[in-house]
Amino acid sequence: MGGLIKDTAADRRPVVLAARGVSKSVGEVPVLFSIDFDIREGEIHALMGENGAGKSTLEKILSGFEAPTSGELILDGENVVLPPDGTAEALGMVLIHQEMNLAEHLTVTECLFLGREITRFGLLDRAEMRRRTRKALDELGASIN
């Protein structure tokens, strides 16, 4: 009985981000080939693959650092173009770089808020950032100090 599709409540959650035919070429060299996906409300996804598979290129497209050569991104049901001006991050699409050794001297809180620091009266609001960090870590069940 292979191929049976089960209808679950998770399948009916709204799609918050989708890609349809997203491709990227650098000159004449294709680096992404017609990527399609749906991310539904409440889901967490991992992007995995071999070196050169296009993971970083897709991440850059999703964060607005690069534009696709073709295809479309759909955010909350609307086509969206993400310029490299922080628009993607303001919409909640944040790129976390894989090279962690670039920030190994930072605390967990400083890493979480890198480039998105909370300020109050022109100064870093470290207490608020620590509070939000603790909340996020607790939600993940992570026992990191």
Q: Is residue 86 part of a domain?
A: yes
Q: How high is the pLDDT of residue 10?
A: 59
Q: How high is the pLDDT of residue 114?
A: 82
- Verify that 18 and 64 share a domain, yes or no: yes
Whether the pTM exceeds 0.85: the reply is no
pLDDT in tens, 131-142: 999 999 998 888
State the sign of the Cα–Cα–Cα–Cα dihedral 55, 59, 60, 66.
positive
Q: Are 21 and 70 in contact (CB under 8 A)?
A: yes
- Verify that 27 and 88 share a domain, yes or no: yes
Does residue 104 surpass a pLDDT of 90? no
- For the chain, the three-class secondary structure string (H helix, E strand, C coil) is CCCCCCCCHHHHCCEEEEEEEEEEEECCEEEEEEEEEEEECCCCCCCCCCCCCCHHHHHHHHCCCCCCCEEEEEECCEEECCCCCCHHHHCCCCCCCCCHHHHCCCCHHHHHCCCCCCEECCEECHHHHHHHHHHHHHHHCCCCC
Work out how many domains the chain is built from and give that number. 2
* Rounded Cα distance, 38 and 17, in Å: 6
Section 27-37 average pLDDT: 92
Q: Is residue 1 part of a domain?
A: no
Give me the domain span that covers residue 88.
13-96
- Verify that 88 and 143 share a domain, yes or no: no
Cβ neighbours, 10 Å, residue 57? 19
